[in-house]
């Protein structure tokens, strides 16, 4: 996941290539990076867009970086069925 704080809106912008060549989901939030506000805004955005409870999402790496790893709790098969349409739309 690649996050841009202080963006024009809270949105998922699609896929992007990182410097190492790997793909990442690009997101923007209007919140500044101060005091973890952008991280909290990112988790709210993902929960809303993917229709998941906010409590099921956690940033497990990259708290102070634009590149983040987000853990999604729950049944793997159920999550895959729920997220596939959203990811295909990107």
Q: Pick from 53, 62, 49: which is nearest to 2 by CA?
A: 62
Residue spans per domain, the chain: 2-88
The pTM of this model reads 0.88
Angle in degrees, CA 4, 61, 20, rounded to 5:
65
- Residue-level pLDDT, tens digit, the chain, 90 residues: 999 999 999 999 988 999 999 989 999 999 999 999 999 999 999 999 988 999 999 999 999 999 999 999 988 888 888 788 777 766
Domain 2-88 has CATH 3.30.1200.10: yes
């Amino acid at each position: 996941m690649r996050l841009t704080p202080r963006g024009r809106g809270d949105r998922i912008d699609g896929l992007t290539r990182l410097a190492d060549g790997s793909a990442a989901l690009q997101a923007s939030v209007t919140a500044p990076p101060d005091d973890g506000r952008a991280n909290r805004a990112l988790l709210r955005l993902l929960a809303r867009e993917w229709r998941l409870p906010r409590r099921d999402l956690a940033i497990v790496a990259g708290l102070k970086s634009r590149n983040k790893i987000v853990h999604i709790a729950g049944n793997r098969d159920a999550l895959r069925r729920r997220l596939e349409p959203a990811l295909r739309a990107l």
